[in-house]
Amino acid sequence: MMYQFLALFFLVAFPALAQQPPSDPFIKDELLRWENARNYTLAVVEALPESEFGFKPVAEEMDFSAQIVHLSDNILWLTSKFIAQKPASFSAKDYNGKGKKELIQLVNQTFDYAQASFASFPADKLSEEVDFAGQKMTRRRIFFLINDHLTHHRAQMIVYLRLQGIAPPKYVGW
């Protein structure tokens, strides 16, 4: 009876302990901000009719769907290389030329992968320096870089909405 109790205890207790939210304030804040970024990004993607996903304001720019693939690819690359330190199980580039439904799926998968990687990131490594494009930066700065790049391309997508006469969704901030 005691062995059964211990077995049951370990089956219930250890998975629960493994799923505890991060205690580090930076990681906690990042996870909250990341969920808001997901919701806002999805709202921007949803706002444009699928028939306009090929729109780009000038020939040199990416079209709307390419912006989605690019921002997803960058999140996956930076997260896998500097945060998770293991590759994602999917590639954003496989979504080139896909429709709105599939691109929404890509955004969700990308945010899920990054969110899980952020949640399991050891806080004691935030100050660890890595080489990025020939310069040293902390892994904490990589988190900022992921956010900045996402914001940059989402903002371009908002301009695309405006150029199509579509009011962008209400801002979802930090």
**How would you label 75-109 residue by residue, b for 16+ Cβ within 10 Å and e otherwise?**
bbebbbebbbeeebeeebeebeebebeebbebbeb
pLDDT of 67-112, one tens digit each? 999 999 999 999 999 999 899 999 999 999 999 999 999 999 999 9
Whole-number pLDDT of residue 14: 45
pLDDT of 105-163, one tens digit each? 999 999 999 999 999 999 999 999 999 999 999 999 999 999 999 999 999 999 999 99
pLDDT at 46 over 90: yes
pLDDT of 12-26, one tens digit each? 444 444 456 678 999
Whole-number pLDDT of residue 9: 47
